[in-house]
Amino acid sequence: MSIEVKIPPVGESIESGVVSVWHRKSGDYVEAGEALFTLETDKVSTEITAEKSGVLEQKAAEGQEVKIGEVVALIDDKAAAGKAKAATAPNESEKKAALEPGKRSAGAETLSPAVKRMITEEKIDPATIAGSGKGGRVTKGDVIAHLRVESVPSTQRVTDDQEKPRNRPEPVAATEGDGAGRFTRKKMSPLRRKIAAQMVLSQQTTATLTTFNECDMSEVMALRKKAQEKFQADHGIKLGFMSFFIKAAVEALKAVPAINSRIEGDDFILNHCYDIGIAVGTERGLVVPVVRDAGKKSLADLERDVADFANRARDGKIKIEDLQGGTFTISNGGIYGSLMGTPILNPPQSGILGMHAIRERPVAVNGQIVIRPMMYLALSYDHRAVDGKEAVTFLVKVKESIENPTALLLDL
């Protein structure tokens, strides 16, 4: 009997996705729970697994947009498992060749998650890439170098009889008026296209305005340094700055509820929970996992949540439900060195707080010029839902909490 593989519901407001890549081919035997393909949506990419074991028959091509509930494959669960496995298993000579010095194994277990993702998206055979890592392992740099070589016209590539390293990019002479070799053109990934569309949607459908302030980080830095050793011993995780800002944002949202809101049609919806989205940059794009009920969590709980999201985002293991339902967002451009910027709203939310780099600057304190570690803060908000006074009040409240963080440290 053939079992239909359908696109499952993957979140509110998501009606379709793109079959980014098939992990198994038609005719392959697949085990129950094995990843069949990667589905990309405007939220995140997720692996769709087989519900039962059997022989796979694809019904949708890579890159094809599919609707929720659409049948994209069939699995014949009556097929002889042993025969199907034998047809796809490598023979002894292939195994031996994969282990010979100077040759690479294409097995997924030898590749890091980041390398596997790049190879899958670019449809590259890892056996064609010269690995420079330990034991001939293929690294991200090797994949990038391979792609650069492939982008150079064949007339400009190094031939086999030339004594130059294989799979390394050749410098291309840039001549006036000659575009060959001066740029690389490739299709945007479905996820990147969705992210781009979401950014444009934010600018076109909200009345975005940004207000700025600055805060003195001296007290937070001193208390963090003082508490760090005990905090790590008690909780097994480092105390960072993000947990302070999440706490400060929650206190400010309580003081200015209008920012914890959204507009839907003619309705103004005020949220009474504090589900804070934390923007996390990955190789494939920006994702915003949500810390649920942040107002009820300790600094240690918040640090664990943030660390877990960062790790899973880098490994491509963020789930759809991790990204849904946020009421407010915090974005930390300071980790990349940003001194000041205007964060873009994450619709339908009405506010986003931008953190920036900490820099020592001369400031006036009690009539004296002193050097203090300062951070610029930015709040972008939807002016349809939030008045200017409310936005400024919110940012001042965040500043006050960071500059006087004793109350935020009571749960240490």
The per-residue DSSP string of 280-330 comes to EEETTEEE--EETTGGG--HHHHHHHHHHHHHHHHTT---GGGGS--SEEE
Rounded Cα distance, 139 and 177, in Å = 35
Question: pLDDT digit string (tens) for 87-120?
Answer: 555 555 544 444 444 444 444 445 665 667 677 7
Task: Please report, for the domain that includes residue 28, its CATH number.
Answer: 2.40.50.100
Task: Please report, for the domain that includes residue 140, its CATH number.
Answer: 4.10.320.10
Of the listed 178, 293, 383, 411, which one is catalytic? 383
Q: Give pLDDT, residue 243.
A: 95
Q: Give pLDDT, residue 64.
A: 86
- Say whether both 400 and 287 belong to one domain: yes
Q: Give pLDDT, residue 380.
A: 97
Q: Where are the alpha helices (DSSP H) in 128-262?
A: 140-151, 190-205, 218-235, 242-255
Are the C-beta atoms of 288 and 330 separated by less than 8 Å? no
Q: Please check the confidence at residue 388 and state whether its pLDDT lies above 60.
A: yes
Q: Give pLDDT, residue 79.
A: 67
Choose the final residue of a domain: 37, 57, 85.
85
- Say whether both 230 and 372 belong to one domain: yes
Is the preceding peptide bond at 348 cis, omega within 30 degrees of 0? yes
Confidence of residue 303 (pLDDT cuts 50, 70, 90): very high
- Say whether both 253 and 367 belong to one domain: yes
Question: pLDDT digit string (tens) for 256-280?
Answer: 999 999 999 999 999 999 999 999 8
Q: Give pLDDT, residue 410.
A: 60
Q: Has residue 336 been placed in a domain?
A: yes
Nearest by Cα to 143 from 118, 160, 113, 162: 118
150 against 200, higher pLDDT: 200
Give, for 204, the enclosing helix (H) or strand (E).
helix 190-205
- Say whether both 109 and 77 belong to one domain: no
Q: Please check the confidence at residue 368 and state whether its pLDDT lies above 80.
A: yes
pTM above 0.85, yes or no: no
Query: Quick one: average pLDDT of 33-59?
Result: 84
Choose the final residue of a domain: 85, 109, 143.
85
User: Would you call 146 a catalytic residue per the annotation?
Assistant: no
Q: Please check the confidence at residue 379 and state whether its pLDDT lies above 80.
A: yes
Query: Quick one: average pLDDT of 28-44?
Result: 83
The total number of structural domains in the chain stands at 3
Q: Please check the confidence at residue 343 and state whether its pLDDT lies above 50.
A: yes
Q: Give pLDDT, residue 191.
A: 66
Q: Please check the confidence at residue 167 and state whether its pLDDT lies above 50.
A: no
Q: Has residue 173 been placed in a domain?
A: no
- Say whether both 335 and 222 belong to one domain: yes
User: Would you call 235 a catalytic residue per the annotation?
Assistant: no
Confidence of residue 43 (pLDDT cuts 50, 70, 90): low
Of the listed 178, 234, 387, 411, which one is catalytic? 387
Question: pLDDT digit string (tens) for 206-220?
Answer: 999 999 999 999 999
Q: Give pLDDT, residue 147.
A: 66
339 against 9, higher pLDDT: 339
Q: Has residue 182 been placed in a domain?
A: no
Give, for 88, the enclosing helix (H) or strand (E).
helix 81-88
- Say whether both 105 and 68 belong to one domain: no
3-state secondary structure of 353: strand
Mean pLDDT of the chain: 81
- Say whether both 108 and 230 belong to one domain: no
Q: How far apart are the first and last CA of the chain?
A: 59
Query: Quick one: average pLDDT of 112-131?
Result: 71
Query: Quick one: average pLDDT of 350-355?
Result: 97
77 against 302, higher pLDDT: 302
Q: Has residue 170 been placed in a domain?
A: no
Q: Has residue 179 been placed in a domain?
A: no
Q: Has residue 198 been placed in a domain?
A: no
Q: Has residue 187 been placed in a domain?
A: no
Which residue range forms the structural domain that includes residue 323? 206-409
Choose the final residue of a domain: 56, 85, 114.
85
Determine phi and psi for 380, rounding to 5 degrees. Answer: -95, 135
Least confident of 110-119, 281-290, 382-391: 110-119
Greatest mean pLDDT range, 130-139, 315-324, 338-347 = 338-347
Query: Quick one: average pLDDT of 83-90?
Result: 52
Q: Give pLDDT, residue 172.
A: 40
What is the residue whose two structure tokens read 């208390």?
223
- Say whether both 271 and 394 belong to one domain: yes
- Say whether both 119 and 75 belong to one domain: no
Q: Has residue 186 been placed in a domain?
A: no
The set of residues, in sequence order, having a beta carbon less than 8 Å from that of 85 and lying 6+ positions away, is: 29
139 against 239, higher pLDDT: 239
- Say whether both 142 and 218 belong to one domain: no
Are the C-beta atoms of 357 and 377 separated by less than 8 Å? no
Query: Quick one: average pLDDT of 229-237?
Result: 94
Rounded Cα distance, 269 and 258, in Å = 9
Query: Quick one: average pLDDT of 33-46?
Result: 79
Question: Torsion angle of alpha carbons 309, 314, 320, 323, nearest 10°?
Answer: 50
Determine phi and psi for 358, rounding to 5 degrees. Answer: -90, 125
- Say whether both 219 and 340 belong to one domain: yes
Task: Please report, for the domain that includes residue 259, its CATH number.
Answer: 3.30.559.10
Q: Give pLDDT, residue 317.
A: 80
387 against 169, higher pLDDT: 387
- Say whether both 77 and 114 belong to one domain: no
